[in-house]
Chains A and B, each alone.
Chain A
Amino acid sequence: MQRIARLKESPSQTAGPYVHIGMLPNFAGIDGVFDEDLGARMIVGEAKGERITIRGRVFDGVGAALKDVLLEVWQADAQGLFPSQEGADPAFTGWGRQAADMDTGEFAFETVKPGPVPFRDGRLMAPHVSLWIVARGINLGLQTRIYFADEDEANASDPILSRIEHRDRIPTLLAEPKGDGTYRFDIRLQGENETIFFDF
């Protein structure tokens, strides 16, 4: 029988404990090689929309915060447009990269609240931020989404949230508003209240 000549994706490997050397060298203390760490700023001008900060920590299966984790986010602008789309906000990059604090494990993204983006069939998805997590001990980057707990109506009709069978797990994807423009989003890799991760 003939074979289909398709290549296999390169297998993933852990980012390891020293991921910052390559991806956030200035944060790692390697000065003078790159002018600025990529992804450090998502707002690069007078960005439209509501400025927010998403803060959180990533916990392992015994409840310890990861202090060597690196996170990236990708999201639409306040109008629901990605940077590759016509009319997207030029003052907003849509992409951010942050390491957890090496002492506390706390991370923070300063961004804008995203507008809703269409699902494949035209229904709107609720405002969300895509989040990718890599670290020592994580063999394949973990994909999740940050939704907003103050978007009840939009969340209730979100096509992705709607397909989650175990409804009691949905709160693990909701960032809690703190009232000062800050949202809290903690991630639990394993065990009780384990965060939902996605495969797409």
Chain B
Amino acid sequence: MNAFKQKQAVLQTPGGHDRPGGGLYARDRSWHPAALTPAYKTSVTRSPTRAPISFPTTLGEETGPVFTRDRLGPLDADLVHNFARSPDGAIGPRIVVQGRVLDEDGRGVPHTLVEVWQANAGGRYRHKKEGYLAPLDPDFGGCGRCLTDEAGRYEFRTIQPGPYPWPNGPNDWRPAHIHFSVFGQSWGQRLITQMYFDGDPMIWRCPIVGTIPSPEGIESLVARLDMEATIPMDARVYRFDIVLRGRRQTLFENRMEGL
């Protein structure tokens, strides 16, 4: 008997690994952007034409990587200073972005990694494939990361990014935005999205924003200015909550030592 068959024999003992009712809530694909959204031109050749095949989640979808605080540096969540040679930091409107990572049941998602990236105050990204004529800021890199706390809260300090022209239509500009990558507690919750700023008139003109089918979906990516939390004479605060898929049950508590 080979190893595969041996393991199969062990696992097929009654009751051992059957977990009815487990798994993630199904993703509402009518709420997310479709794959093919022709106004966003690059999607035309990068969108599958066949329907995705669904299956109930297994261990591989219900577990995921765990990251710990010892992997992070003291300035990782401070984009004003984490690339700066000058103690004054990057140039631009100083802001704090804070919020919670929640699941669809409204529970905070603790100890999960949140990564962000963005252009500088002039809309210029620090990337070798980028050629926009607005200058780089020698004191701004544009990347940050943090772990949520026990309640799922996170916070970044940064500068407000500028709008950015891009070769889609002949005169398309991205609204000011910050990219977010969130892990959650399982592979099936993995999400990348973008945060926009309250009151930006570019939001409603943007073909990438427009890939989201409903106005309600778009509004859920618009951060709100929070003047009560704003730090006087220092930085305005924007509030941005992120919602990941809910789970019917947890099979494992993720162990706290990470990668």
A1 in contact (CB, < 8 A): no
Chain B residues near A35 (CB, 8 Å)? 73
**Given A10-B220, A164-B53, A76:B104 Cβ within 8 A:** no
Tell me the chain A residues, 135-189 only, with Cβ under 8 Å from chain B: 135-143, 153-154, 160, 163-164, 169, 189
Cα separation A120 to B244 with both chains bound (whole Å): 23
- Contacting residues of chain B (1-33) with chain A, CB-CB under 8 angstroms: 3-4, 7-8, 11-13, 16-20, 22, 24, 27-29, 31-33
Query: What is the 8 Å Cβ interface bit string for chain A, positions 92-131, against chain B (1 contact, 0 not)?
Result: 0111000000100000000000011111111111001010
Known contacts: A84-B255, A124-B8, A139-B37. The answer to whether A9 contacts B53 by CB under 8 A is no
CB interface residues, B 59-92, toward A, < 8 Å: 59-61, 63-67, 71, 73, 75-76, 82-83
> What A residues does B133 contact at CB under 8 A?
none
> Using an 8 Å CB-CB cutoff, how does the interface string of A34-50 with B read, 1 for contact, 0 for none?
11001100001000000
* Interface pair B34/A11, CB less than 8 Å apart: no
B145 CB contacts on chain A under 8 angstroms: 22, 34
| Interface SS of B by simple majority | loop
A190 and B49 form a contact (CB under 8 A)? yes
Shortest beta-carbon distance from A84 to chain B in Å: 5
**Does A194 contact B46, Cβ atoms closer than 8 Å?**
no
Q: Check if B49 sits within 8 Å of A194, measured CB to CB.
A: yes
Using a CB-CB cutoff of 8 Å, which residues 87-146 of chain B contact chain A?
102-106, 115-118, 125-130, 141-145
Contacts of A169 in B (CB 8 A): 50
Q: Tell me how far the C-beta of A97 lies from the nearest C-beta in chain B, rounded to whole angstroms.
A: 9
Contact yes or no, A116 B4, CB < 8 A: yes
Rounded to whole Å, the gap between the CB of B177 and the closest CB of chain A is 8
> For residue B32, which residues in chain A have a CB less than 8 angstroms away from its CB?
9, 11-12, 139-140
Within 8 Å by CB of B129, from A30, A83, A102, lies: A102
Number of A-B contacts (CB under 8 A): 296
B127 and A20 form a contact (CB under 8 A): yes
Bound: A94/B59 CA distance, A: 13
**In the bound complex, what is the Cα–Cα distance between A72 and B141 (angstroms)?**
23
Q: Which of B11, B83, B245 contacts A33 (CB 8 A)?
A: B83
Interface residue range, chain A: 35 or more
29 contacts between A and B (CB under 8 A): A5-B106, A9-B32, A11-B32, A11-B212, A12-B192, A13-B179, A17-B127, A18-B127, A21-B126, A30-B142, A34-B76, A38-B67, A44-B259, A74-B60, A82-B59, A84-B63, A84-B66, A93-B65, A94-B65, A102-B129, A122-B18, A132-B190, A137-B40, A137-B44, A138-B46, A138-B47, A163-B53, A189-B48, A197-B53
8 tightest A-B CB contacts, nearest first: A22-B117, A137-B42, A137-B46, A95-B65, A139-B33, A61-B45, A199-B52, A13-B194
Q: Chain B interface (Cβ within 8 Å of chain A)? A: 3-4, 7-8, 11-13, 16-20, 22, 24, 27-29, 31-35, 37, 40-50, 52-61, 63-67, 71, 73, 75-76, 82-83, 102-106, 115-118, 125-130, 141-145, 179, 181, 187-188, 190-194, 208-209, 211-212, 216-218, 220-221, 242-246, 252, 254-255, 259
Known: A19-B117, A137-B47. 7 other contacts (CB 8 A): A12-B191, A14-B208, A15-B179, A74-B60, A137-B45, A191-B49, A194-B49
